[in-house]
Structure 1
Amino acid sequence: MPGINVGMIEELPAGSPLEVPLHPPKRRRYVPEAAVPSTSGIWSSTPTDDAGVVMNSDVAEGSVAGGNLIQEQSVAHTCDDPPSPSVFVECSTSITPRARGMYGPHRRLQDNEIEDFLNYGSEEEEDGADNEVMIPRTLQMFFEPEEDTNEEAEAAGRIDVEQLSTLVPGVANGPSSLYDFTWRSYPTEPISPAERREKFVGDSGPTIERTTDPYEIFTRIWDHSIMGHIVTQTNLYAQEYASHLLDTGLMGPHSRITRWKDVTLDELYVYFAIVLAMGVLVKSKMEEYWCRDGNIFSTPHFAAYMPLFRFQLINRCLHFNDNRLLMPDLLPKEAKLFKIKPIVTHLNSAFSKLFNLYQNVALDESLTQWKGWLNIKQYIPNKKSAVGIKTYEVCDSRTGYLWRFEVHTGAESPSTENDRIIVGSIPNLVLRLLDGLEHSGRTIWMDNYYNSPSLARVLKTLGLDCVGTLRTNRQFVPNEIVALKQGNMRVGQVCGCTSGDVDLMVWRDQNKVAMISTYHGVAVSDGKPTIVKDYNICMGGVDRKDQMLSTYPVERKRTMVWYKKFFKRLLNVSVLNAYIISKCFDESVDHRDFRTDLIKAILQKHSQPLQSVSVAPLLSLAGPKLSPEVIAHFPTWLPTLPNGFGRQKRQCAVCKKRTYQFCKQCNVALCFDPERDCCYIQYHS
């Protein structure tokens, strides 16, 4: 294969990953020179302390000893001679069942493999590395000399190679356009990945002043402007809904909408707090949160801040956009997201303003579960919620902070916004999501759904690096790489090529793995290509966010309106982002404590507890005529009808009106209203 490097992974030059995992696994390895008798006469292959306990050290992944895992605390051998290399080989202390199924069953190493393993990296490096000519970062894509030419740029958007060649004499001319790829073998003395990587510039972390107050950070996202917009649209929709019921004759005398009163800003904050509390305290039905039966399942404080009927009424009329603005000439993409568009726009702006991403950025999909009918829902089998609303998200690989997102609305219509740079809906999607990160030196980690050689080159010209998996049938991938099949490659074989600024590599592990990078090249560390090790560390930003959100399922409650459930998902994400900002200032902040403190702060600042049926409120309502023995009495709802439609009614013992409520202790129907001197209070006085 001309222009393609082909060889075994053992033949690759040694390198080291550039990324460090947040929680590195504990590893150990066999070091022959350290295998000396300990004070207790027990041979150990790793350094030990005074108690003979093996200390930690770095090792390669995936090694085993005779097919059996060696525990970290049990590596000493009670024998007079050190263990043989065939028995005592560096191993992993923990391999999950999933990992065993992914990488295949472990086996005893062969003699030649043991020899290669023990002697790997022992050869001295050749001299002459100091004489290597380092190319400026702006010209890194042209690091391999070729024939010099002085052709001028032929069209707009092409690189001025004549000017580049005059800047650094002897440097080869690069591609004359974004789509001019000349694939060749990797150079014998490649530039270090750290030198080829774009230099990270700018700040990273929160952009606000140092604070750990959950309420202050949360209100930076949900400020009074967006909350006032929701209040206005909710009240407007409630009036429209009531008018619609009156015009169609569907409003009954006991319809819940007849008790509507305009929601206020404080009441909307209280509604948010109750929704967030439902994510911390998970129950199977909404009505159970207002249970005041006095048993172990009772949660009376929900009713203390908002009655159930009021919460259901706000939930029913919650709205985010004026229906009168829904014009028939809107694009399909705009029409599908019309109901939730103001919230999406506001959060994208707030998230990006409050936090500067670190150097590693992950771009991936996320899924909000939705099982109902929806023409934009997607099926992603490898997600926990296999069916739902898909969003393309840009997250920080280190913290999981959601920086920008875009909702999938089906196939995109042709757009000319970025076509002058690169053609294709997926590359243009990536460029929209990364807008504002240009020339910052960040590295974008993506999977094979997004990656392509042309996109990698565009990102490189914009001052961004690109790393990830690759589909070998992408345009501009050389035919030699496309023709590679898994069955035609041996385990451990590596094939690759470079165009100077874009590197391609295919590695045969248990499966064929194709990778693309703008700075890695081909190098191996601990039996794996360094690009694979770095990818496994940095690609999980979106998954890390989803994992932290799954503990507090705010959007779990069912609803028949998809955009309301998606809104609760966005509310949940905003709390997580606020927590990440707080954790940047104080590492000791706990996620659950942050949420509970936020809920308490919102209720304290925007609500006064309503009069409830607990002992103190009853005494304050009825005065001295109500004795403490009434604590055993509490109002509740009459059971539903046998056919499931409606609820039973009985005549009130005081006002003689028919009511749904009764005192369970007295078994007497009584009207109850915590806002006035109701029949329930009069009866028990």
Structure 2
Amino acid sequence: MDSEEEFLSSSEDEMLDDERLDLKERFDLKEVTVCIENVAPLLASHTRAALKRHSVFNAVENLNECENDSDQIPVAKKAKTISWKAETHVDQVPQTLRFLPAQEPGPQLSPADAHSPMSIFKMFFTENAVSNLCHNTNAQAARAIAKGRKYKWTDVSVDEMYRYIGLIFYMAAVKMSCIADYWRQDSLFSLPFPATVMPRDRYRTISWNVHMSHPDADKENDRKRGTAEHDRLFRIKPLMDTIRFACKSFYHPRRNLAVNERLVACRANTGMTRCTKVKQTKFKLFVLSDSSNGYTVDFSVYTGKNSFPTDRGLSYDAVMSLLDNKGLGSGYHVYMDDFYTSPKLLTDLFAMKFGACGTYRDHRKDFPKTTANSLTKNSTRGSIRWIRDGPLVCVKWMDMQVVSVCSTIHAAYTGERVQKRVKAQDTWKTKSFPCPAPVTAYHKHMGSVDLSDQLLQYYTAQHKTMKWYRKIFLHFLDIAATNAFILHKELYDNMSHSQFMEELIAELCGVSEKTAPKQTSTDHVPVPGAELTSDIRRIATVGRRICVHCKAVRGKKQQTPWKCQACDVHLCLQLDRNCFQEWHKSL
């Protein structure tokens, strides 16, 4: 029994030793396997399924970690580290996406039909939308009067609302220091036109009460504040939906699109504005525009952290909310700045058959962090480095500083060169530098955002107001007028921006653009043509000029000392010849 027990114990010890050795071998093998699995994506060809599981950029970091943690990796595996490639290396051109728009790009209107500036503007501000605007404005005015406001009010009609909008555009074209100055008649810079459209007090009461949603519905929505059912955009949504639908209906964008943010200045505390460095509160809008002409294709208003339902980040969700496969089609190229660009967004857009290109921030997640053969501060101007991961290529270019761009559309470098002014020996000279294809395309197509903002600012309707939703209402007017001008230019190209706005204002206000408004009769009074002199001998001759009526009608050069104060023309005022009266009958 003792011998049998000793035999069993010795056998058990041997079995335990074998298990420990086996576990140790398996543990060491597991460590090596982890490092090999991290290196494997570098050597394998990239497919869509592989892209979802691995990334070259992450594999580089994991490989470096394995090299630091263990010295047991073979030398051959250590040598295959990923580094930045130079412009001398040939990059494989990514798969070209076929451009298949849902509709023929361009205006969805027939150029054979007559389209005036007002008729195109009414496609965005339709009569139904303006009728609803009038209904809600009248309800808001009635509510204000019931609360004790003391002003005269009559219900605003659709025609009067269009005249009110025309006056807003007139004030955008003719700048004065305050609203009341447009109706002043005792100033050197008096403007006769606004008083012919509507009285000052009427304009002000409409401005106080303009409302895009019904006040009773606003009250119900405000009760839900703090809950998931509360809609922060409720006060602007009726008109916003109409404008967005019109932007997408009457124009289909061309291939190159740009995404960027647009800020609308407002000091109201609404909980969905952002503060800038200059301590101004502004609304943020995410805008999708056509790169060829600056047309606003779509937009969304940022309302805070919970603006979008998904949980992939604001920049990701903002771009995805503006791109619609069904409405746009496929094969579009989307350009964006470093706020939006991420590998996740670009690869997901590529899976949706949207190419994308944008600048990026080096510290952002999933972008390459390796410094092997990377650019430094001492790199020569025009140096290029790139890394490709399937359809996604990241490029660094040394200009005055390092420019980082990634793209799923372009090859890293295809031979483009740019002209830059450089200073050498106290003189400026133009020198040619190599430039990556994504950088060249980015600078070319991202300018549409600046063009769109520039067109809006030429005749912006923005002015000081106390309510945030009225600031958005004025911005909707800017979008509608600018898009209407772009459509008119695409169809006819026979008007400048200023001419278009002048004709639009005239049609909205119901006046003729070519005839100047009649001045009030109180301005047409006879005054001396020159200051009176103390010299009695010259009283009868000083300031005498030829009467314009006698010369035009009678063909005679009769001189007179009298002139019209408003018209500033000399006219006879005699007992037998009243040219002053005859002249003003023809006005």
Give TM-score, length-normalised by structure 2. 0.67
Shift of 1:332: 7.0
Equivalents in 2 of 1:494, 1:333: separation in Å? 51
CA contact (8 A) 1:320 1:343 kept: yes
Shift of 1:513: 1.4
Equivalents in 1 of 2:275, 2:53: separation in Å? 33
Rate the CA distance shift 1:481–1:397 in 2: closer, same or farther, 3 A: farther
**Alignment-derived partner of residue 563 in structure 2:** none
Work out whether 1:337 is the aligned partner of 2:233. yes
Rate the CA distance shift 1:263–1:482 in 2: closer, same or farther, 3 A: farther
Equivalents in 2 of 1:386, 1:244: separation in Å? 32
Give 3-state SS (helix, strand or coil) of 1:196's partner: coil
**Alignment-derived partner of residue 215 in structure 1:** 118
Alignment map for 1:150-169 (pairs within 5 Å): none
Equivalents in 2 of 1:409, 1:481: separation in Å? 39
Of 416, 425, 438, which residue of structure 2 is paired with 1:525?
416
Q: Which amino acid aligns with 2:138?
A: N
**Alignment-derived partner of residue 227 in structure 1:** 130
Give 3-state SS (helix, strand or coil) of 1:175's partner: helix
**Alignment-derived partner of residue 549 in structure 1:** 456
Give 3-state SS (helix, strand or coil) of 2:397's partner: strand
CA contact (8 A) 2:47 2:390 kept: no
Rate the CA distance shift 1:238–1:475 in 2: closer, same or farther, 3 A: same
Of 305, 318, 322, which residue of structure 2 is paired with 1:433?
322
Work out whether 1:538 is the aligned partner of 2:538. no
Rate the CA distance shift 1:481–1:372 in 2: closer, same or farther, 3 A: farther
Rate the CA distance shift 1:315–1:612 in 2: closer, same or farther, 3 A: farther
Work out whether 1:306 is the aligned partner of 2:213. no
Rate the CA distance shift 1:631–1:566 in 2: closer, same or farther, 3 A: farther
Give 3-state SS (helix, strand or coil) of 2:56's partner: coil
**Alignment-derived partner of residue 338 in structure 2:** 448
Q: Which amino acid aligns with 2:136?
A: Q
Give 3-state SS (helix, strand or coil) of 2:194's partner: helix
Rate the CA distance shift 1:598–1:439 in 2: closer, same or farther, 3 A: closer
Shift of 1:298: 1.7
**Alignment-derived partner of residue 239 in structure 1:** 142
CA contact (8 A) 1:198 1:465 kept: no
Of 82, 86, 96, which residue of structure 2 is paired with 1:196?
96
Shift of 1:471: 1.4
Q: Which amino acid aligns with 1:408?
A: Y
Give TM-score, length-normalised by structure 1. 0.58
CA contact (8 A) 2:252 2:328 kept: no
Shift of 1:414: 7.0
Q: Structure 1, unaligned stretches of length 5 or more? A: 1-143, 149-171, 246-250, 619-626, 633-685
Give 3-state SS (helix, strand or coil) of 2:147's partner: helix
Equivalents in 2 of 1:602, 1:514: separation in Å? 48
Q: Which amino acid aligns with 2:464?
A: R
Rate the CA distance shift 1:196–1:277 in 2: closer, same or farther, 3 A: same
Q: Decide which structure has the larger Cα Rg and report it.
A: 2
**Alignment-derived partner of residue 175 in structure 1:** 49
Equivalents in 1 of 2:308, 2:122: separation in Å? 38
Work out whether 1:260 is the aligned partner of 2:150. no
CA contact (8 A) 1:360 1:396 kept: yes
Shift of 1:463: 1.2
Work out whether 1:405 is the aligned partner of 2:299. yes
Equivalents in 2 of 1:177, 1:593: separation in Å? 53
Shift of 1:482: 11
Work out whether 1:324 is the aligned partner of 2:209. no
Shift of 1:213: 1.1
Equivalents in 2 of 1:217, 1:483: separation in Å? 56
Rate the CA distance shift 1:386–1:365 in 2: closer, same or farther, 3 A: farther
Shift of 1:488: 7.3
Rate the CA distance shift 1:458–1:376 in 2: closer, same or farther, 3 A: same
**Alignment-derived partner of residue 570 in structure 1:** 476
Work out whether 1:290 is the aligned partner of 2:290. no
Q: Which amino acid aligns with 2:224?
A: D
Rate the CA distance shift 1:315–1:468 in 2: closer, same or farther, 3 A: same
Rate the CA distance shift 1:480–1:317 in 2: closer, same or farther, 3 A: same
Rate the CA distance shift 1:319–1:612 in 2: closer, same or farther, 3 A: farther
Shift of 1:273: 0.5
CA contact (8 A) 1:438 1:462 kept: no
Equivalents in 1 of 2:233, 2:371: separation in Å? 41
Shift of 1:605: 8.0
Rate the CA distance shift 1:547–1:292 in 2: closer, same or farther, 3 A: same
Rate the CA distance shift 1:368–1:486 in 2: closer, same or farther, 3 A: farther
CA contact (8 A) 2:259 2:449 kept: yes
**Alignment-derived partner of residue 357 in structure 1:** 253
- Deviation string, structure 1 residues 387-419 (Cα, Å, up to 9, x no partner): 521111011111111111111222126724xx6
How much is the aligned-residue C-alpha RMSD, in angstroms?
Answer: 3.3
Shift of 1:234: 0.4
How many residue pairs get aligned? The number is 433
Larger helix share, 1 or 2: 2
Shift of 1:374: 4.5
Give 3-state SS (helix, strand or coil) of 1:403's partner: strand
Equivalents in 2 of 1:429, 1:219: separation in Å? 29
CA contact (8 A) 1:178 1:458 kept: no
Percent identical among aligned pairs is 24
Shift of 1:567: 1.1
Rate the CA distance shift 1:581–1:232 in 2: closer, same or farther, 3 A: same
Shift of 1:469: 0.2
